[in-house]
Chains A and B, each alone.
Chain A
Amino acid sequence: MAACYWFLFMLELRGLGFRYPDTEHPALDGIDLRLEAGQCLGLLGSNGAGKTTLLSLIAGLRQPQQGEIRWQGERSIGLVPQQPAFHAGLSVKENLQLFADLYRLRGTERSNRLQRCIHDTHLESLLGTRAARLSGGQQRRLNFAIGLLQPAALYLFDEATVGVDIHSRELLLGAVQGLTADGCAVIYTSHYLEEIERLAQRIVLLAEGQVRLDLDKRQLLGDDHGLLLEWPTAPPSGLDALLAELQLECLPTARGCRIERIDAPQLARLCQFIASQPQLPDLLRFGRPSLEQLYLHFSGGAL
């Protein structure tokens, strides 16, 4: 997109809290976040973790009860909600023109943005079609296009690719990457973790209204993330003693452990130990964990 706000934009959340009436626990509790221009933040969390409330507060649909939201520069938000947010009785072109008017787009900027979002979402052949007659995937593309059409500093995507075919999804994810490349910030929520893994530079995991993880993706999913060992029932009895003897730093898991760093001699001793045991591990993986594994681990197994 032509409009870039990287030199202006930054969003900062400080101690953000929100509690719905008649509920025991707060939906959000002490959220601290900072989002830089050109950054894509992948927002993860199980149902009820507080993602929707957080997006509503950022979008200005609700007012925080605690803490503050600070913007540098003008607050302008592009929105791609989960449900198709357009008029089914209007054609694709009429919908785009309506929102171009509502976004107050004029002249060259208007035509350029219209052309770009139509191209990015491959809607060229559907411009005259009534939105109600589009397939589910096509409706998602239109929903996406309306969000992309808006000149904004921050774009919020909420499960925006649900029901979209693989080819269309590639297009849409490419469009999101184009936004960050242009210096716009993006908050992207999805249950398709591979999308988050692909798009986000930062991943934030919410659980019970709190930030459980806020990490750079390279840190979270780095290549040096060690060796994961798991046995069918429980780790063998001598394992802890061996790990202590080898001075290996490890994280215990339910049926084994994750060894952060291991060199070749240490690995040779460990392999000898494993081979000597009556029961072999059912999982032995060397390298980075998947986001899904991390998600399940840090969210306590809740999807």
Chain B
Amino acid sequence: MRLRALVRKEFLLLIRDHHALGVLFLMPALFVLLMAFALAEVNQDRLPALELVLEIPQPSEESAFFAAALDEQLGESRRLESTATSAPHLRLSPAFAEQLLDTEQASLGLVFPAATDALSRQRVRAAAHAALAQTRLMAFLLDTGELDADSSLAERMTLIRQRTEVRINEQERLASGALDQRVNASQHSVPAWLIFGMFFVMLPMANSFQREQQSGTLLRLRCLGVNMGTLALSKLLPYLAINLLQFGLLLAIGVWALPLLGLPGLHLPGSIAAWLLLAGSLALAACSLGLAIASLARSGEQALMYSGGINLILAAIGGVMVPKSVMPEAMAQLAELSPMSWGLDAFLVLLVGQGSLTDVAPWCARLLLFAVGVGALALFLFLKRLNDTQWTTHN
């Protein structure tokens, strides 16, 4: 009866605390949207289209074939007019057709603007090599009579494609390795700011406890003999529920709201059990830390400073604000100290690696161990704080 009454009281106070609701729900939701937009162009699975100028001083059957083969290699890339100076220029030699089967002669020239990044340069080089090899093969087959001289460009392309096609048996080992290099904007932003928001329960937890102690309500509860377990649970249970609600709500934003804004939506593969384990582990870790901070802070100002400061530090080193994939090695190693990083890794195992309950279990185990360790410290501090709550007079 007492526990139920205290939990109900915490809920009522929380629902009426607009600032706390803003911090717990509005702030992470806004961060999810803003950061998903900000990172929209980063870490996409599909490579961006290239722009390229192909200079053909002496058009021929061979140069036409080369152009078609190059287009096929570069996919959605776009060929520009030769006046465009901002794109890489690929120049065929004037004697391209004659020199094709002569490996001693350079048939191609490449000019890169300074702004072209290394990956784009590599893509252009690779595409040019492949297209040139195909064109040489086509010339060789024409020369040996294996290819009909009257065949169309399309027919030639089909034949060469068949001759050069390599079947590679490609498999992906899921739920393994550093998956943060594979995430898209939504797959990073939603879990990152969701975890950040969940850990922000520290603030309302600490504030509520401060108010209770400073008002003398805690003194009444102590005199009533309400035991420590009931009091601690009355603080933990409402915020665990809030954490689970945050988890569901922000994932829902990722799944349904982001696609409405033109961003990649979140798909939630994996078993429900794995998701529930992750949600529970994160909530326990966040709430145990919240209880520790609530017991440690001696004033509203300290509560704000501790909870805000610790949350920001854990987020900064844990890969919430800056993905771990772009961190230097030392920082990435430091990130492993943050429970937010463990939560993020668990999310990636599920979202990107399509992992199972077993795959996500090691990360959740870390979070649960953190919850147990910090929870034990929190209970010690909580008990000490209760015992320190004494009758005070202001006369």
Contact = CB atoms under 8 A, between A and B. Distances in A.
B394 A82 contact: yes
B340 to A, nearest CB: 30
A88 B210 CA distance: 13
Interface stretch (B151-159, B313-321, B355-363, B385-393): B385-393
B352 interface: no
B13 A87 contact: yes
Most buried by A among B17, B220, B394: B220
A158 interface: yes
B391 A158 contact: yes
Nearest to A85: B216
A264 interface: no
Given A60-B223, A89-B13, A90-B13, A83 B2 contact: no
Interface range, A side? 20 to 34
Contacts of B220: 79, 81, 85, 99, 146
A62 B389 CA distance: 10
Interface of B is mostly: helix
Given A88-B215, A104-B2, A61 B391 contact: yes
A98 B393 contact: no
Interface in B98-123: none
Given A86-B215, A87-B215, A101-B5, A62 B390 contact: yes
A223 B368 CA distance: 73
A42 to B, nearest CB: 15
B168 interface: no
B215 A101 contact: no
Given A87-B13, A146-B220, A52 B215 contact: no
Interface string B204-221: 000000011001110111
Contact of A59 (B6, B16, B223): B223
8 contacts: A61-B219, A61-B222, A81-B220, A85-B219, A87-B215, A88-B215, A94-B12, A102-B6
A289 interface: no
Interface size class of B (residues with CB under 8 A): 20 to 34
Given A98-B9, A104-B2, A159 B393 contact: yes
A90 B12 contact: yes
A86 B1 contact: no
B217 A87 contact: yes
- The secondary structure that dominates the A interface is loop
Interface string B359-386: 0000000000000000000000000000
B211 to A, nearest CB: 7
Interface in B4-47: 4-6, 8-9, 12-13, 16-17
A60 B304 CA distance: 32
A86 B214 CA distance: 10
Given A62-B390, A159-B395, A77 B215 contact: no
Interface in A83-109: 83-90, 94, 98-99, 101-104
A61 B223 contact: yes
Interface string B116-159: 00000000000000000000000000000000000000000000
Contact of B224 (A90, A94, A103, A159): A103
